[in-house]
Structure 1
Amino acid sequence: MALPSTIHRAVVQLSDVDRGIYETLQVTLARHPSETAQRLVLRLLAYAVCHAPELSFTKGICAGDEPDLWIREPDGRVKLWIEVGTPEPQRLLKACRHAEQVVLLTAGPGRFRWDAQYRELLTGLDNVRVLGVDYDFVSQVATGLERSITWELTISGGSLYLTSAKQTYETTLETLVSAES
């Protein structure tokens, strides 16, 4: 018998100074039994960093042909495709052919090896952006993750300031690849 997903409810007080977005985000996330707490944190961070009213979570790990988050047009076309972690570059290249915009929020113990091997393949594409977050930051936030998540997240000058459970964390949101690269 398969284990059920764990449901997490999150409230994020988002102050994205860089984009002029000040909102309270309320979302429900399903955490697959094979998903780590770090990956869940990264998905929620991606939701906040790329927030738009139409942005939604997909089936994620359960549906191999879907991204972690996306914005779909009414006719089914994908406007924004968001991946997290360190996916195979072929997956991102395929997404670039099918989506108007592709964003990768990358973090993980092998991120710098991933950067060295694959960043060049994505550089120069006109519809891809790769953002990097420190994995220690993600791991610290994931420590003691509960089913009810309350964050205060400020994004300013390319830095993330996150308060969760009376702990404050800070990291840089690095732009590793962008259309202007």
Structure 2
Amino acid sequence: MALPSKVYKAALQLSDVDHGVYETLQATVAQHPSETEERLVSRLLAYAIFHEAELTFTKGISATDEPDLWVKRGDDRVRLWVEVGLPEADRVIKASRHSERVALLACGRQLATWDQQQLPKLEKLANLTIVSIDPAMIARLVALLDRSIAWSVTITEGTLYLTCGAETVESPLLVKVGSR
């Protein structure tokens, strides 16, 4: 018998000063049984960092032909493809051919190795943005994770500040390719 997904309700108060975006975001996010809490937190961070109208979560890791988040046009073409984690360069290159823009929140324990092996293959993609954040921030957010998530997210001068309850954590947004 398959384990059920764990469902989280998220309310994000987003103030992206760098891009003039001020939104209250509501999302219901399912954590697949094989998905780590670090990856779930990273998907929510990507939702805030790359937010634009109509950005939605996909079926996630259970659908290998979809990104973690996307914006689709009325004709079903992908306008924005958002990946989270450390995908193979071939997957990102393919996504860049089939969507107007590709964004990647690069995070995970093997980030330094991934940077050395995959980043050189991706640097010439004109429609790609790669951002990474401090892994300690993700770890701290995992420790604070609750089924009902209430975050206040502020992005200003290339730094992400996130308040959860009485605690505020921060990380620079390290842009590796492209621009946010």
Percent identity between matched residues is 51
Name the CA distance, whole Å, in 2 between partners of 1:88 and 1:119.
Answer: 10
1:108 lines up with 2:136 in the alignment: no
Residue 165 of structure 2 corresponds to 165
In 2, the alpha carbon distance for the partners of 1:144 and 1:134 equals 16
Match of 2:94 in 1: 94
Equivalent in the alignment of 1:29: 29
Q: How far did 1:27 drift?
A: 0.7
Q: Following the alignment from structure 2 to structure 1, what is the Cα–Cα distance between the partners of residues 144 and 80?
A: 31
1:38-57 map, 5 Å:
38-57=38-57
Q: What letter is aligned with 1:21?
A: V
Tell me, yes or no, if structure 1 residue 123 matches structure 2 residue 123.
yes
CA deviation digits over 1:25-76, x for unaligned, max 9? 1111011011111101110011111111210000011100000000011111
| Secondary structure of 1:139's aligned partner | helix
How big is each residue's C-alpha offset from its partner over 1:75-110, in whole Å with a ceiling of 9 and x where there is no partner? Answer: 110000000011111110110111110000011111
- Determine the C-alpha separation between the residues in 2 that align with 1:90 and 1:143: 33
Aligned residue type for 1:82: V
Instruction: Report the number of matched residues.
Output: 180
Output the TM-score relative to the length of structure 1.
0.97
**The residue matched to 1:26 in structure 2 has which SS?**
strand
Task: For 1:171 and 1:25, locate their aligned partners in 2 and report how far apart those are by CA, in whole Å.
Answer: 21
Question: Secondary structure of the residue that 2:168 maps to in structure 1?
Answer: strand
Give the letter aligned to residue 119 of structure 1: L
Provide the rounded CA distance (Å) in 2 between the counterparts of 1:75 and 1:58: 17
The SS at the match of 2:108 is: coil
| Cα distance in 1 for residues equivalent to 2:37 and 2:123 | 30
Determine if the alignment matches structure 1 residue 60 to structure 2 residue 60: yes
Runs of 4 or more above 6 Å deviation: none
Q: Secondary structure at the match of 1:66?
A: coil
Structure 2 unaligned spans of 5+: none
Shift of 1:121: 0.7
Q: Cα RMSD (Å) of the superposition?
A: 1.2
1:135 aligned partner: 135
Q: Paired residue for 2:83? A: 83
Per the TM alignment, residue 23 of structure 1 is displaced from its structure 2 partner at its CA by 1.2
Shift of 1:144: 3.6
> TM-score, with normalisation over the residues of structure 2?
0.97
Taking the aligned partners of 2:33 and 2:151, their CA distance within structure 1 comes to 23
**Residues in 2 aligned to 1:113 and 1:158: alpha-carbon distance in whole angstroms:** 24
- Tell me, in whole angstroms, the C-alpha distance in 1 between the residues paired with 2:138 and 2:69: 18
In 2, distance between residues paired with 1:99 and 1:170? 31
What is residue 13 of structure 1 aligned with on the other side?
Answer: 13
